[in-house]
Structures are given as structure tokens and as C-alpha cells.
Structure 1
């Protein structure tokens, strides 16, 4: 998948300024290719787009969702509790420059903020975004535990005595949700395996 091409095609709906589009893409590429990005990187964006491809027909506003994918983790600092807020603000400023209207920008900001708590939304598009973001949880156990190792690397600044309780809290949060996945498609695809994976990881902590 060519993410740059995908981003360019998306932006061309709103601006014909190729230099602006190129500079915005360079920013995204640089952010997601940062030194500490072991999981929240360009490969994560690719996977999200692949997951969304299978439900594209059910998404009302695919352009907004696509921008939300590109910008939802653009700011990622393992020591910060406000990555989503910073990513949403970052996206809003860039998308204004492309020429998106305020309503669309507000929708994208809300979608990015929703990735903080992963609660079921009144907006089905947002639910598809959240499910694509969490789809890794329901992959086969080998893929899942590879993901957990990458997450641990991203939080390498924290010793186990701090990391493990925090990670346990996250896993329990997802297991206590009525369902991890908000949409029928992703529930059918990943819910059962996700619960097995999260439970198996909990036993290792």
C-alpha cells in the first residue's frame, strides 16, 4: 500500500496545492517513523486502512475517517496522557490549511479524541475507526504477542514495576467492556480471539 499516494489523493479533493500536500505528508511520515515508534508507525496506519477496506461500503464519510487514520497517532509520547488531544489539535491546524470546512474538521477531531477511551459512539463511522484501531487485539496469538513486545519497547522508559500495573489496567479496561469491538463485522471477526489474547497476556504480567 502506498500511503503517500493515498494521502495525496485524499487531499486533492480539497486543494490542488501539491507543495502543501507534499509538506504535510513529509510531516506525517517523519512523525510515524520516529525513533521510538515500534508499533504506532506507518505499518499501523496501513493495517487500519486494510481493515477499513472490508467495511468501506458501510462508512458514510470515508474521507473524514481516512484523515482520522492519518492523524490519530501523529503525536505519540509514551510519557504523555494527552496524545489524542494534541493529535486532534495538530490535525485541525493542518486540515484548515488544506481547506476542509469546520464541520468536517470538528468531526475528525472528535474521532481522534474517541481513540483515547474507545467507548461506543453514536456515530457508526467512529465505531469503525475504533475497531480498525484495535483490530490487532484479535489477531492470532503470535501476531498479538509480537504487538505486545513492540508496545513494551515504546514504553521502555518505564521499569516493569511501573509498566506492568499500567498494562494490567489497560487490559482489564478492555475485558470489562460489554464488547471490545463496537461493530458487528469486527465483533464477528475478532472479539473471541481478542478476549483470549488479552486474558493470556494478563497471566504473564
Structure 2
């Protein structure tokens, strides 16, 4: 499904204000289409929806996870350490105006914040979101290689020696986890390849 259509269909469950929905979609489209975004863009959202669609029957609240996907990287600045907090805050503001109840809004807020540390959650829906967000790690070597180039472009403000130090820290963190993926489905699908990809990147940094 086209992202815009998906967003409209989702929002119409909570409001009949088409102008408001259009306004919020244009905001999302503009944010994810910023020039500095080589990976965290609309294609990233499409990839996440493709992943969660395959486990839709295992997800308790697909509407909640859908809003989390749309807003999880809506604010993205490579120089900031507060992207997730700012994205969660913006999501909260927008979803209140769309008429969602506080429980759903709080779940979306917490799911977006969880994408910062990628720690296993007690909420299995949140774990599916986290796994979908990291699914690129377990893709083919060619796809993974393209992803690493896109991430490097997003962090082009940093010279190699700084970027490589930070990147190594992130990659080693993933390898130190008991499991990169939190759900059995994604673990079985991507864990082995993800570790091979990360180890290969580390050797070549």
C-alpha cells in the first residue's frame, strides 16, 4: 500500500478531518524527504511496513505500531542525541489532535523511545517494531553494504576517524547482545546473517 494511503486509512479510524490528515501527512513526507536523509527516509518506512505486514497476525495492535513506524524517525538530525525523544513528542502532539485515546498515544510514545536503545521490551508489539527497524542488518550482503554507505552519507559532517570510532561502538554493542533480534520470528529470519554482516563491516572499518 502507498504510504500516503496507508496513513490516511489509519487516521480515518480516529478522525473524519481530512484536512488535518492531509496536513500531517505532508509534514511526515517533508520530514522524511529532507536532503540529509539517505537512509532514514520514506523508503525506510516502506521497508518497515513490509516487515511488519508479514507478522501482522502476531501483532496485537497494528494501528499503534503503524503510528510508531510513521513517527519513529520523523525528527532526524545526525548531530543530535535527542531524535527519538523529539520524534515521540511530535507524535504525541499530532495523535492527540487526531483524537487517539491516551493509552494508544502512550504506547506509541514508548515504542518510539524504545528505538533509541533497542532493549528487549515486555511489550511484544514493541519488540516487533524494534526488530523491523533493525531488519536491514540481516539482509543480503549487497543490501547491507548499500545501507552502510547511506548511513555514512547521513553522518558526512563527521570526519572518518570520528565516524569510524562511533560506528565501531554501535556495531560492537549489537554483537555483545545475547540476541540482536527480540522476537523468534525475526531471530530465525535475520540473526545469523546480521552477525556476519556486522563482523564483516567491523573488519573493514
TM score, norm. by length of structure 1: 0.99
Residue of structure 2 equivalent to 1:80: 80
Residue of structure 2 equivalent to 1:6: 6
Residue of structure 2 equivalent to 1:186: 186
Say which SS state the counterpart of residue 85 (structure 1) adopts: helix
Residue of structure 2 equivalent to 1:22: 22
Does 1:169 find its partner at 2:162? Answer: no
Say which SS state the counterpart of residue 13 (structure 1) adopts: coil
Alpha-carbon shift at residue 93 of structure 1 (Å): 0.3
Count the aligned residue pairs: 205
Q: 5 Å matches for 1:50-199?
A: 50-199=50-199
Say which SS state the counterpart of residue 39 (structure 1) adopts: coil
Runs ≥4 residues deviating over 3 A: none
Residue of structure 1 equivalent to 2:37: 37
Instruction: Provide Cα deviations, 1:179-200, integer angstroms capped at 9, x if missing partner.
Output: 0000011001000000000000
Instruction: Provide Cα deviations, 1:101-121, integer angstroms capped at 9, x if missing partner.
Output: 111101000000000000000
TM score, norm. by length of structure 2: 0.99
Where do 5+ consecutive residues of structure 1 fail to align?
none
Say which SS state the counterpart of residue 156 (structure 2) adopts: coil
Where do 5+ consecutive residues of structure 2 fail to align?
none
Structure 2: how far apart are the matches of 1:22 and 1:201?
A: 41
Structure 1: how far apart are the matches of 2:115 and 2:41?
A: 16
